[in-house]
Structure 1
């Protein structure tokens, strides 16, 4: 198989190149993004060395996130604090500092109301949030009602901010879908979803962030997540690569187990690459850096996940395109 044929497995974003400094040849790909991390729980300096150029932080102290210099690598978009019901998840968790959680006590759509839904959204926006994160975890505590959730979504929409939900427990995915939540922070894993509900999620344009590898020690959750994801993909749903990095023993960088699980669920080749390189919640990829993988592209689809895990982030100006590749 020629390199041209190998590149066909991955689509038009793939190019052959040479590193100007080392002379090493390899493959040029768009920058990769992990769409679910918690920066305060990891060593972010390791991400670029292991292929991740950008991240979406889905729960942290908005003050600390806003203070992070924007020019640093990886590039960071963030939700700021979790918005949750009084006493709801993740209140009281040792990994979630007080600054990373806002308990919404009032469904008020008026600005400046203490504990109000609109106030909580406005606060995250003022600290530079790119998305709003809501906790709908009936398995771990109280959950906000539909009116409060609707106020959060309406306020976020007025600010052009998508809403991401942690939906766990009976009925929580339906609540998120009925409310019009833009993305789910995890592939649904706590219940088998009815095909019609999954189809409705895909039709709404809802995105699911994968996070399949967090279930490697829980067979039931893993099987439910895979089954739900297969239905979502069959319905034309959009899947984003995300790991929930900071949640347990996960590799800091591109996670080959996450990629293999996505491949097994039916997201393969160029679709898998698309989930990794989608700039959401932004609309444009960074042109300052690119992904580099030494050597030739893989010859088979089954080899793609492990191959992608060998990526590193390099400055785009360091890579010279091979016009004959």
Structure 2
């Protein structure tokens, strides 16, 4: 394979390299490891992730005890532990959300050990090795935190140096998260068309949005709303993380072509799309493995999204790089 390394990196980012397999001799392109920044491991077969091109995942709602028992290896797993929510709030009572993955917060107390306290809930997740705190702000189906309690959760997370990610759904929930200093949205907002001022503030604040555009296949209104909001966020300079909410619906366990295509349509293209896949948030970069996409590199920007769907995970030592 012959490819101009400078043109390749313009298209895919600075880490893209033409390479070949040391054992197979197969030519292709290497990229840093890919991560899905929104999954639920208790709903999928994690052993299929690497075969599907994912070296890492971020679990955004699971049993902190079970997550803490996991060993190291591939896929690399960072996690939030349990959802923090109000009594009767989302996702309490849903069949896919057993009691073990939900914690209710009833008191904004910053003192450790207070039953139902904000600090108590955050401290528990941190004690089980969580890297991020997940809060539910779903006014479409139940009660949500008042600003005082949400502020307290964010403050408790800051004590541990942990970012806060929120599921926002329903009118005003994105603005509520923004006012509280929530770092990341677990989904691109899909239940309301956001004002330009809210999007501009979110982008300027450094808030990140996890894409999850492909979950709206059966909801064309939600799909259009999410895509429109994300396009405006990207145009305002906002930062996007690739994420699919794997476990939500019967979908391939791995890199999803539909998510890549939806991101591309929303303006996350080429090197920006690769960056959304390779971002190490919320922790350190994954080492020892790389993404390998066999065959010729994409010929143009329009080809990148579909081409990325051919990703595989290989040990870094098995790749011989041809360009310098």
Same fold (TM over 0.5): yes
Q: 1:7 Cα shift?
A: 4.2
Deviations 1:142-172 (A, max 9, x none): 1111111001000101110000000000111
Whole-Å separation in 2 of the counterparts to 1:144 and 1:154: 14
Matched residue count: 322
Query: Counterpart in 1 of 2:19?
Result: 17
Q: Is the 8 Å Cα contact of residues 6 and 299 (structure 1) preserved in structure 2?
A: no
| Range 160-169 or range 1-10, more displaced | 1-10
For the aligned residues, what is the CA RMSD? Answer: 1.2
Moved over 3 A (4+): none
Query: Counterpart in 1 of 2:291?
Result: 291
SS of 2:12's equivalent? coil
Query: Counterpart in 2 of 1:51?
Result: 53
- In the TM superposition, what are the counterparts of 1:163-242 in structure 2 within 5 Å? 163-242=164-243
Query: Counterpart in 1 of 2:44?
Result: 42
| Range 286-295 or range 183-192, more displaced | 286-295
SS of 1:72's equivalent? coil
Give the structure-1-normalised TM-score. 0.97
Q: 1:296 Cα shift?
A: 1.4
Query: Counterpart in 1 of 2:321?
Result: 321
Q: Is the 8 Å Cα contact of residues 13 and 275 (structure 2) preserved in structure 1?
A: no
Q: Is the 8 Å Cα contact of residues 135 and 164 (structure 2) preserved in structure 1?
A: yes
Q: 1:262 Cα shift?
A: 0.3
Query: Counterpart in 1 of 2:139?
Result: 138
- In the TM superposition, what are the counterparts of 1:100-111 in structure 2 within 5 Å? 100-111=101-112
Whole-Å separation in 2 of the counterparts to 1:101 and 1:250: 24
Query: Counterpart in 2 of 1:76?
Result: 77
Establish whether residue 251 from structure 1 lines up as the match of residue 252 from structure 2. Answer: yes
Q: Is the 8 Å Cα contact of residues 8 and 16 (structure 2) preserved in structure 1?
A: no
Q: 1:2 Cα shift?
A: 6.0
SS of 2:25's equivalent? coil
Q: 1:62 aligns with which of 61, 64, 80?
A: 64
Whole-Å separation in 1 of the counterparts to 2:40 and 2:229: 25
Which sections of structure 2, spanning at least 5 residues, go unmatched? none
Deviations 1:187-207 (A, max 9, x none): 000000000000000111000
Whole-Å separation in 2 of the counterparts to 1:292 and 1:250: 22
Whole-Å separation in 1 of the counterparts to 2:53 and 2:299: 21
